[in-house]
Amino acid sequence: MSATMSDLLLDWYDRHARRLPWRVSTGERPDPYRVWLSEVMLQQTTTAAVAPYFAAFTARWPTVEALAAAPEEAVMAAWAGLGYYSRARNLVKAARAVADLGGFPDTEAGLRALPGVGDYTAAAVAAIAFGRRAVVIDANVERVVARLYAIATPLPGARKAIRVAADTITPGKRAGDFAQAMMDLGATICTARDAKCLLCPLQSACAARALGDPLRFPVKAVKKARPLRTGTAFWIERDEAVWLVTRPAKGLLGGMRALPDDGWLARADGHGEAPLAGAWKAAGVVRHGFTHFDLELGVATYAGEGVPAGEGQWWPLERLDEAGLPTLFAKAAERVLAQRSTDGED
């Protein structure tokens, strides 16, 4: 059954594979650097969001050696907007480790030894770039397998059973194509909100379809409400430039340029002191979701003549898009500039 299932899926993939910037045609040898880079970028991020970043990265740093030689701050700035910034820091560390090794390891174990490379990424690179048989499970594959076998245990408890089931249908040959075929099936046919069973090459083997309720799977545990935190970001402007600081290297948004704030991350109440005494004007509130909490960040603009204490830099407003602000602070900057534009029209 497993051989038949893999054959059916690979035949479907040969005809319907998505064209993605990091993929090569069937029979061509993938570049491990491009495979690894794409897999790191795609963690918890959509293909549509990743595509322009991947194109920009590979144009600027076309090889792992070029990325290894890049200043970390340049990579962090280029990453801005993709989120989960620890991925960017580990990207540089891993590129330097690969450069020192003289190339990418070609096994899951060797790949897992690289900074920031976990089980999924190691399996994906081993299978896609090196043709190793590896069980590759992302969210799309998890959903497809849960439906194929009608695995009723709620997530995350079902993941062990899903891995065992995925292992039984992963072929020894064309493992990389099989992994990408499973991803494509979950992204285009067996989606979270729809199950286009009549178009699915595995419909005859699908237990969830036989039960008549494929959307029931995978079963998800009830989500707990995420806590809401609050804080304030501060906009200090002089001579068409805004004051930016660099966040501490470790922690949330570590090493990124940002607007100064009131220390909301370290404070339970999210209300700390402003960086300057004097008159502040409220410029609205921006909202942003992190993995474990939501944030409402008030934005305040400075109307005085003081000079900020501590380390920072005046960044020209006309080049603010080059600062590499993370999405949270980019939203805050957009809020200020949009309000200024509206006030000017009045």
Residue 327, CB-side half-sphere exposure with 13 Å CA sphere? 11
> Residue 286 and residue 259: Cα distance in Å, rounded?
13
Would you say the C-alpha torsion 155, 156, 161, 162 has a positive or negative sign? Answer: positive
The residue among 145, 306, 192, 315 whose CA lies nearest residue 246 is 315
Q: State the maximum Cα–Cα separation within the chain, in Å, rounded to a whole number.
A: 75
CATH superfamily of 228-345: Nucleoside Triphosphate Pyrophosphohydrolase (3.90.79.10)
Using DSSP bridges, classify how beta strands 313-316 and 294-302 pair: parallel, antiparallel or unpaired: unpaired
Q: Is 39 a catalytic residue?
A: yes
User: Where along the chain do its domains lie?
Assistant: 2-216, 228-345
pTM of the predicted model over 0.85: no
One pLDDT digit (tens) per residue for the chain, 346 residues? 444 899 999 999 999 999 999 998 777 889 999 999 999 999 988 999 999 999 999 999 999 999 999 999 899 999 988 888 889 999 999 999 999 999 999 999 999 999 999 999 999 999 999 999 999 999 999 999 999 999 999 999 999 999 999 999 999 999 999 999 999 999 999 999 999 999 999 999 999 999 999 999 999 988 888 899 999 999 999 889 999 999 988 888 888 899 999 988 776 555 667 888 878 899 999 999 988 899 999 999 997 777 888 889 999 999 998 888 999 999 999 999 988 766 654 4
**For the chain, first and last CA: distance in Å?**
70
Identical fold for domains 2-216 and 228-345, yes or no, is no
Q: Which of 39, 108, 237, 296 is catalytic?
A: 39
Query: Which amino acid is present at 130?
Result: F
CB count in 10 Å sphere of residue 174: 20
CATH no. of 2-216: 1.10.340.30
CA distances from 256 to 72, 78, 241, 329 (A): 10, 11, 18, 10
